[in-house]
Structure 1
Amino acid sequence: MSKAFDFCIPTRGTKVPHTPEWLHEIKFDGYRLRVERNGDRVRLITRNGYDWTKRYPWIVESALKNRQKHFVIDGEAVTLGVDGISDFNALHSGKYNDQVQLYAFDMLAGDGDDMRSLPLSMRKTNLARLLARRPDGIFVAPFEQGEIGPDLFQAAFKFGLEGLVSKRRDRPYRAGRSPHWIKVKNPASPAMNRAKEAF
């Protein structure tokens, strides 16, 4: 299952799209994860292919409580502070692994159906249905559409968030680097400072 569902990776951009066919999501500062449920088994797979199922029990518990027994969703593992903003230092420390949740933004499969060929707007509708009125531990990433993108980025900038990911609402999910997912980072965010320190 892991090889079949490789990640779609956003392309780095400098400007946020502002036309109707784009959806915009706040970029939370966390670890990219794919949640795979197959019957009574759940796996959490990182972008580099590591199995982190034992690391984040709350996400696993939430996935197992869902009435659908077969699904694959894509998202970001995050630790949220009291202000509702992701705290990467807390996440990276490993001290709060039992509090880590999944910020889910895409659905790749459900009830045996591969959804990757569907447009993003339909995949998001299916994701919302999957997670409607479900236990905490996995929550749906909010998004906005169209011209509001640049304004949303300015708001993210003001709050010190990592940035914005804009996605074409009419495109399928494709593995690898995608020109239809554009990530614009806030240069003042702690995530950018960590990236500079790494070089």
Structure 2
Amino acid sequence: MRLKFIEPLMPTLVDRPPEGGDWIHEVKFDGYRSQMIIDEGGARIFTRRGLDWSSKYRDLAAAAALLNVENAIIDGEIIVLNAAGLSDFAELRKAITRRQHDLYFVAFDLLHLNGHDLCDMALEDRREILEGMIPPDIRIQFSQALPGEASAVYHLVDQAGLEGMVSKRRDSKYRSGPSTSWLKVKCFAVGEFDLLGVEREAGKPAFALMAERGTGRYVGSAFITLNRELRERLWKRVQEHAGPPPQGIKRPATQWVKPGLIGRVKHLRGEEDLRHASLQDFREEP
């Protein structure tokens, strides 16, 4: 019998990790959430939305034979490591097409094993079984829990340059869809972006519209948190550098600027576009 894809449980994004002993904490990897299904037909690997990408992950599907199980459904993340040993989303996309041997499947939950549905079992018990079935030194690895208090774990994750952490209730059952039994907390990064313009409307917060450096690709807006003096200086520079709107972007309340203004933006780490972003400072291109 062929096992069917199970819609994944999706963690809720929160500002800070939960405290107390009811939770386990894991690294939030910067990769593709995936589901590995092993049954009589071999191993298949599905995307978060249920697309069969087994052909893209041939080496990982082959590694599933080393697990020595009749059938199983494993929840995890497909990653590739960069030179610093961190999961790297940009490198992952290249590795899928060019470097299959560099891919890892990091397993963090077990939904089915040898004919038994485990979704009603406590998370801690599911993970214990999962850890025991993964041999060392293969491309499928177990996501170890991080010891210590939540705030200390978050600090270490942030200092290590990781994307964030996921906290999960030890006794939680596996339920598809959004859930507060799993909570994710992301770390922040600070980077420079090209300033496209400033959006100001009466009675509303002001936003800086930002683009990726050197490409002009719009990546989102950043809340302007500057003090009064810097805000006035920014608005003066924007007026002095006024320019036409970029193609494809329609924001009627925006004062667009010519290239040359660079914004320093604090934003969530590991996102393709800006999220929870704020403008910290700005400068003119020398």
**TM > 0.5:** yes
Distance 1:57 1:173 in 2: 28
Tell me the CA shift for residue 144 of structure 1. 2.8
Identify if the C-alpha distance between structure 1 residues 129 and 168 changes in structure 2 by more than 3 Å, giving closer, same or farther.
same
Q: Where does structure 1 differ by over 6 angstroms across 4 or more consecutive aligned residues?
A: none
Q: What does residue range 37-116 of structure 1 map to in structure 2 within 5 Å?
A: 37-93=38-94, 94=96, 95-116=98-119
Secondary structure of 1:89's counterpart equals: helix
Secondary structure of 1:127's counterpart equals: helix
Which letter maps to 2:122? Answer: P
CA contact (8 A) 2:27 2:146 kept: no
Larger Rg: 1 or 2? 2
Secondary structure of 1:195's counterpart equals: coil
Tell me the CA shift for residue 164 of structure 1. 0.5
CA contact (8 A) 2:7 2:49 kept: no
Distance 1:75 1:183 in 2: 15
How many residues were matched structurally? 193
Which letter maps to 2:141? Answer: F
- Structure 1: which 5+ runs fail to align? none
Tell me the CA shift for residue 134 of structure 1. 4.8
CA contact (8 A) 2:186 2:269 kept: no
Which letter maps to 1:118? Answer: M
Which residue number corresponds to residue 273 of structure 2? Answer: 195
Distance 1:66 1:134 in 2: 10
Give the CA RMSD over aligned residues: 1.7
Q: Which has the higher helix share?
A: 1
Q: What does residue range 1-199 of structure 1 map to in structure 2 within 5 Å?
A: 1-3=3-5, 5-93=6-94, 94=96, 95-131=98-134, 133-134=135-136, 136-144=138-146, 148-188=149-189, 190-192=269-271, 194-196=272-274
- Structure 2: which 5+ runs fail to align? 190-267, 276-286
CA displacement, residues 70-108 of structure 1 (integer Å, 9 cap, x when unaligned): 011000000012432112111022332332110110000
Identify if the C-alpha distance between structure 1 residues 65 and 39 changes in structure 2 by more than 3 Å, giving closer, same or farther.
farther
Which letter maps to 1:39? Answer: E
CA contact (8 A) 2:25 2:145 kept: yes
Distance 1:159 1:144 in 2: 13
CA displacement, residues 31-88 of structure 1 (integer Å, 9 cap, x when unaligned): 0000000024111011112111011122111112221120110000000124321121
Distance 1:9 1:58 in 2: 26
Which letter maps to 1:115? Answer: L
Tell me the percent identity: 31
Tell me the CA shift for residue 137 of structure 1. 1.0
TM-score, normalization by structure 1: 0.91
Which letter maps to 2:127? Answer: K
